[in-house]
Structure 1
Amino acid sequence: MKYKIEKNTVQETLIIPLYARKVCSELYPNLYRDETAVRLIDEIDYDFSEAEKKSRSLMQRFGSLEVAMRQNDLAFEVRDYLKSHPNAAVVNLGCGLDSTGRSCDNGSCKIYNLDFPDVIALRNELLPAGKREESISCDLNNTEWFKEIDASGGALFFASGVFYYFLTEQVKALVQKMADAFPGGVLVFDAANRTAVKMIAKTWLKSAKIQDVGAYFAVSNAKSELSLWDSRLQVTSRGYMLGYNDLRDPSVSGFFRFLAKVGNGMMKMQIVKIGFGGRK
Structure 2
Amino acid sequence: MSQTITIEKGNVQETLLLPLWGRAFETQKENPRLIDRKAVQIIEKIDYDFSDIEKTQSMSQHGWVARSLHTDTMAFNFIKKHPEAAIVNIGCGLDTTFSRIDNGKIMFYELDLPDVIDLRKNFYEDSARHIGISSSFLDTEWFGQITVRDGLLFLAGGVFYYFEEEQIKKFFIQAADYFGQCDFFFDSLSPTGMKIAKKQILKKGGMGMALEGGWGLKSIKNLETWDPRIKVVNSISMSKGMKKGVPLLKKLMLTIPDMLGVCSMVHMRIA
TM (normalized to structure 2)? 0.89
Does 1:154 find its partner at 2:151?
yes
**Structure 1 residues 208 and 70 mapped into 2: Cα distance closer, same or farther (>3 Å)?**
closer
Distance 1:177 1:129 in 2: 27
Deviation string, structure 1 residues 107-159 (Cα, Å, up to 9, x no partner)? 11100000000000111122222441100000111110110111231101010
- Identify if the C-alpha distance between structure 1 residues 139 and 26 changes in structure 2 by more than 3 Å, giving closer, same or farther: same
SS at match of 1:260: helix
Distance verdict in 2 for CA 1:82–1:53, change over 3 Å: same
| Match for residue 70 of structure 2 among 43, 65, 73 | 73
- Structural mapping, 1:261-276, within 5 Å: 261-276=255-270
Flag structure 2 segments of 5+ consecutive residues without an equivalent: none
Structure 1 counterpart of 2:51? 52
8 Å contact kept, 1:120–1:137: yes
> What are the Cα deviations for residues 150-169 of structure 1, in whole angstroms up to 9, with x where unaligned?
12311010100001101000
Q: Look up the equivalent residue of 1:115 and give its one-letter code.
A: D
Structure 1 counterpart of 2:81: 84
CA displacement, residues 70-89 of structure 1 (integer Å, 9 cap, x when unaligned): 11101111111111111110
Q: Which residue of 2 aligns with 1:133?
A: 130
Aligned ranges for residues 29-40 of structure 1 at < 5 Å?
Answer: 29-40=31-42
Superposition deviation, residue 14 in structure 1: 2.8
Give every structure 1 segment of 4 or more consecutive aligned residues whose post-TM-superposition deviation is greater than 6 Å.
Answer: none
User: What SS does structure 2 have at the residue aligned with 1:120?
Assistant: helix
Work out which of the residue numbers 158, 169, 181 in structure 1 matches 2:178.
Answer: 181
Structure 1 partner of 2:59: 62
Match of 1:231 among 221, 228, 231: 228
Query: Equivalent residue of 1:255, what SS?
Result: helix
What SS class does the counterpart of residue 125 from structure 1 fall into? coil
User: Kindly tell me: are residues 158 and 265 of structure 1, through their superposed partners in 2, closer, same or farther at Cα, counting changes over 3 Å?
Assistant: same
Q: Secondary structure at the match of 1:186?
A: strand
Task: Kindly state the Cα deviation for residue 3 of structure 1 after the two structures are TM-superposed.
Answer: 2.1
Which residue of 9, 12, 15 maps to 1:13? 15
Cα distance in 1, alignment partners of residues 78 and 68 from structure 2: 16
Identity score, percent: 30
Contact 2:12 2:209 in 1 (8 A): no
Report if aligned partners of 2:19, 2:61 keep a CA contact under 8 Å in 1: no
Tell me the distance in 2 between the aligned counterparts of 1:228 and 1:254: 39
Moved more, 194-203 or 1-10: 1-10
Give aligned pairs, total.
Answer: 262
How far 1:53 moved relative to its partner? 4.7
Shift of 1:35: 0.8
Which residue matches 1:248? 244
Give the aligned partner of residue 103 of structure 2.
106
2-structure distance, mates of 1:11, 1:192: 21
What do you get for the CA RMSD once the two structures are aligned? 2.1
Partner residue in 1 for 2:116? 119
- The change in CA–CA distance for 1:2 and 1:207 in structure 2 (over 3 A counts) is closer
Residue 220 of structure 2 corresponds to residue 218 of structure 1: no
Closer, same or farther in 2 for the Cα pair 1:43/1:12, shift >3 Å? Answer: same
Q: 1:266, CA displacement in angstroms?
A: 1.3
Q: Find the residue that maps to 1:126 and give its secondary structure.
A: coil
Counterpart code for 2:39: A
Gaps of 5+ in 1: none
